[in-house]
Amino acid sequence: MAILPFAIQIAGNMSQYWTETVHKLDPYIPGEQPQDQQYIKLNTNENPYPPSPQVIAAIDQFDMDRLKLYPDPESTVLRQELARHFDVGSDNIFMGNGSDEVLAHCFQAFFKHGKPLLFPDISYSFYPVYCGLYDISYQTIPLTSDFSININDYFIDNGGIIFPNPNAPTSRLLALDQIEVLCEKNASVVIVDEAYIDFGGESAIALTHRFDNLLVTQTFSKSRSLAGLRLGYAVGHADLIEGLNRIKNSFNSYPVDAIAQAAALASVKDQTYMSDCCDRIIKTRNDLTKALLKLGFEVLPSAANFIFVQHPQYSAESLYLSLKDRGVLVRYFNKPRIDNYLRITVGTDSEIATLITTLSHILD
Amino acid sequence: MAILPFAIQIAGNMSQYWTETVHKLDPYIPGEQPQDQQYIKLNTNENPYPPSPQVIAAIDQFDMDRLKLYPDPESTVLRQELARHFDVGSDNIFMGNGSDEVLAHCFQAFFKHGKPLLFPDISYSFYPVYCGLYDISYQTIPLTSDFSININDYFIDNGGIIFPNPNAPTSRLLALDQIEVLCEKNASVVIVDEAYIDFGGESAIALTHRFDNLLVTQTFSKSRSLAGLRLGYAVGHADLIEGLNRIKNSFNSYPVDAIAQAAALASVKDQTYMSDCCDRIIKTRNDLTKALLKLGFEVLPSAANFIFVQHPQYSAESLYLSLKDRGVLVRYFNKPRIDNYLRITVGTDSEIATLITTLSHILD
């Protein structure tokens, strides 16, 4: 009796009831969140500081009886505040349940064409997963040898371009004038995923006034310390936003809950707190960089709340495991070109001091 | 010069950057939420009572500093509590950002096959929208003349079956023994969408132990008064749940925020409050039904927190408009077979008294 490939798949924890899409998926794996002990968590790029006191006050003052009602499906007031902050119109802003959801909608709204989507070979590992989810063909463009994006490599026929800026996990920034040239010369939608932009980059949002093919995504999870509340958004030409709204209103009319809307509004109104947090993180990042250089690490120039490092004498995997043994979690990617690198989130000064001490012991 | 169809589309508020999916979409339109005046809102099936005091206490006690961290991507503790409540395993439960999101994932996970998905011709109007989003073929099965589901009509070759129970907007319940026969005889996945089950029906969740093709979805938005927090879930065989997890982890790893998880946990632990609310709503529904019968309305037997009614002498549309003029919002669907019906949410006794008085004036 011949063994059919499908039978083998069923045996491998699959189900006859799944669609072909599900069978073929290779889901994203977020950074580990072990429950067995207290770790110093420098592995998921969370902000080490709590949200703004204004955010906490807004939640405290929220009328909980209102939870019986559906939230504003359009997050109107929040979008107006963001629009004011970025000097765009509210119809240039799309809100979602975290920027991962926003990105998912973007892939479905703009990237499924006959031509391949382009993104860097080293980049946010969710991008190829979205491509699997929506059956989008893609082509990865290698970063240069110093892990930079060279925009000239993207001037080929394509169905869209996406990259994080600063890039993850490399932490390197692409200059705004390069993004400008890219948008000008490229015929398809360019998405700049600015999850980490507040930690040292200049946003491309101002360019959305000039380029109707540019969409910029940002998140409340990093610089605004609200990963727990799930808020992300996209900024761009009203036609692009309308495309996202059509997807959203065919998926879930009410993606952002009422408390999250109120909290995010308070966060946008308190820019000082956010920029103070970012300044502290940038200062710690500089101190961390210096300390690691002293220990013999090579550190890529970072514009993010994490750094990307390797050590010429020690394998990244062994360092990752040794750190984990000693209660410090960093991120290790067992992937081509970066399998000797560690991504380290910039924590508090005290967390970073512990990391450095621990690393010194390991290297001894 | 010939005018190309595409050029016409572009003129009609479309964009060259949209994918074909977006161009073809016909998004869902939720019940109106007018901002111009205070209405008695009986149009979106919200619960008239606030969430449990235990829920509000859980939010008050939530450590807001934790919002800087990502929430548990698997909603582990909440799923364990739901599992205990429903006497299933945690691996039989999938959590999402509202049951609309859960349903969207279900459509992508289980319903895209060569054969058409089946659902009633009068049903939740989001179902055909999901089909558009994921390019799923479907066939509607007419309800009987009294707006019931006859399961014999579903014994045809299909790629899946879905219906709300009680059905929306008709409010009618399908008996559990009928669902049992349906699951037994049907080869594909059967989804019973139990958004309104707590208002007078018996859940099919117990049947998921016996049928690996049965998935039951429920929500915190109706009986638990938490529409504002966006929480829904699916219960079924672990393989079906695994299919949903594969979709979720390819879309957004963290769909349910940390405060929503804490609030929902408190809600599940306080079953008494929920069933007391449901009892009050059922009592009001009975009073409302009697009062409307007196006014000459025909009222379908309801197992939901809404009723579906028509008046032999007055058009539903004119009644809807007259009520709106007088500050009472109900839902009117301008659709075949139901364009002379109104769907009225069961509010508080006082709201319902106002509705009845207002209707009496209109009918006079």
**Which tens digits make up the pLDDT trace of B257-275?**
999 999 999 999 999 999 9
State chain A's maximal CA–CA distance in angstroms: 71
Helix (H, G, I), strand (E, B) or coil at B336: coil
Decide if A17 and B227 are in contact by the 8 Å CB cutoff.
no
The 10s digit of each residue's pLDDT in B143-161 is 999 999 999 999 999 999 9
The 10s digit of each residue's pLDDT in B19-48 is 999 999 999 887 777 766 689 999 999 999
- Residue A260, pLDDT score: 98
Least confident of A22-36, A84-98, B60-74, B163-177: A22-36
Q: Which alpha helices (DSSP H) does A19-145 contain, by range? A: 20-24, 53-61, 76-86, 99-110, 127-134
Determine contact: A111 vs chain B, CB below 8 A: yes
**Mean pLDDT on B197-215:** 98
**Mean pLDDT of all residues in chain B?**
94
**Mean pLDDT on B47-65:** 98
Residue B13 pLDDT > 80: no
Distance of CA A73 to the CA centre of its chain: 24
CA distance A237 to B317: 38
Beta bridge partner(s), residue A191: A162, A215
Shortest distance between the Cα of B169 and any Cα of chain A, in A, equals 18
Determine contact: A57 vs chain B, CB below 8 A: no
Interface predicted TM-score of the whole assembly (ipTM), two decimals: 0.94
CA distance A12 to A16: 12
Structure tokens at A327: 């209660």
- In chain B, which residues have their Cβ closer than 8 Å to the Cβ of A221? 70
Fold of A40-49+274-363: Aspartate Aminotransferase, domain 1 (3.90.1150)
Distances (CA, A) of A157 to A150, A186, A188, B17: 16, 9, 9, 15
* Cβ(B260)–Cβ(A231) below 8 Å: no
Distances (CA, A) of B82 to A87, B79, B90, B264: 45, 5, 8, 10
Interface size between A and B, measured as CB pairs under 8 A: 269
- Residue A2, pLDDT score: 33
* pTM > 0.80: yes or no: yes
Query: Which among B120, B124, B119 is positioned nearest to B343, based on CA atoms?
Result: B124
Structure tokens at B291: 């009062």
Which residues 26-55 of A have a C-beta within 8 angstroms of B?
Answer: 26-30, 33, 41, 44, 46-51, 55
Shortest distance between the Cα of B144 and any Cα of chain A, in A, equals 28
Q: What percent of chain B has pLDDT over 70?
A: 96
Shortest distance between the Cα of B165 and any Cα of chain A, in A, equals 20
- Residue B32, pLDDT score: 78
Residue B48's closest chain A neighbor by CA? A68
Which residues 248-277 of B have a C-beta within 8 angstroms of A?
Answer: 249-260, 263
* Cβ(B201)–Cβ(B303) below 8 Å: yes
**The CATH classification of domain A53-269, taken from the options 3.30.1330.60, 3.40.190.10, 3.40.640.10, 3.40.50.300:** 3.40.640.10
- Residue A13, pLDDT score: 63
Nearest to A22 among B59, B246, B253 (CB): B246
Structure tokens at B135: 């390019």
CA distance A124 to A307: 15
**Mean pLDDT on B351-358:** 97
Decide if A19 and B255 are in contact by the 8 Å CB cutoff.
no
Query: Which among A42, A63, A225, A35 is positioned nearest to B66, based on CA atoms?
Result: A225
- In chain A, which residues have their Cβ closer than 8 Å to the Cβ of B45? none
* Cβ(B208)–Cβ(B222) below 8 Å: no
Residue A223's closest chain B neighbor by CA? B68
Determine contact: B71 vs chain A, CB below 8 A: yes
Q: Where are the domains of chain B?
A: 40-49+272-363, 53-269
| CATH H-level, domain B40-49+272-363: superfamily | Aspartate Aminotransferase, domain 1 (3.90.1150.10)
Q: Identity (one letter) of the amino acid at B128?
A: P
Residue B100's closest chain A neighbor by CA? A252
- Residue A9, pLDDT score: 41
The 10s digit of each residue's pLDDT in B233-251 is 999 999 999 999 999 999 9
- Residue A38, pLDDT score: 85
Beta bridge partner(s), residue A41: A329
User: How many CB atoms neighbour CB A5 within 10 A?
Assistant: 8
* Helices A127-134 + A99-110 axis angle, to 10: 50
Query: Which among B245, B188, B192 is positioned nearest to B217, based on CA atoms?
Result: B192
CA distance A82 to A90: 8
Cβ burial of B11 (10 Å; 0-12, 13-18, 19+) is exposed
Helix (H, G, I), strand (E, B) or coil at A215: strand
Q: For testing the chain B interface, which of A76, A252, A267, A345 should be mutated: the one with the most B CBs within 10 Å?
A: A252
The 10s digit of each residue's pLDDT in B276-319 is 999 999 999 999 999 999 999 999 999 999 999 999 999 999 99
* Cβ(B263)–Cβ(B275) below 8 Å: no
Per-position b or e across B248-260, b if 16+ CB within 10 A of its CB: bbbbbbbbbbbbb
- Residue A1, pLDDT score: 31
User: How many CB atoms neighbour CB B272 within 10 A?
Assistant: 10
Nearest to B68 among A50, A129, A212 (CB): A50
Q: Give the residue carrying structure tokens 């070759």.
A: B157
* Cβ(A308)–Cβ(A170) below 8 Å: yes
- Residue A12, pLDDT score: 52
Residue B12 confidence class, pLDDT cut points 50, 70, 90: low
- Asked whether this chain's domains A40-49+274-363 and A53-269 adopt the same fold, the reply is no
- In chain B, which residues have their Cβ closer than 8 Å to the Cβ of A245? 27
- Residue A31, pLDDT score: 77
- Residue A264, pLDDT score: 98
Peptide bond into B142 cis (omega under 30): no
**Mean pLDDT on B189-217:** 98
From first to last of its 364 residues, what are the pLDDT tens digits of chain A? Answer: 333 334 334 445 688 999 999 999 999 887 777 766 689 999 999 999 999 999 999 999 999 999 999 999 999 999 999 999 999 999 999 999 999 999 999 999 999 988 999 999 999 999 999 999 999 999 999 999 999 999 999 999 999 999 999 999 999 999 999 999 999 999 999 999 999 999 999 999 999 999 999 999 999 999 999 999 999 999 999 999 999 999 999 999 999 999 999 999 999 999 999 999 999 999 999 999 999 999 999 999 999 999 999 999 999 999 999 999 999 999 999 999 999 999 999 999 999 999 999 999 999 8
Residue B111 confidence class, pLDDT cut points 50, 70, 90: very high
CA distance B327 to B346: 16
Residues 6+ apart with CB under 8 A from A87: A206
Decide if B51 and A72 are in contact by the 8 Å CB cutoff.
no
Nearest to B50 among A22, A28, A64 (CB): A64
**Mean pLDDT on B116-130:** 97
- Residue A33, pLDDT score: 75
Nearest to B108 among A15, A19, A110 (CB): A19
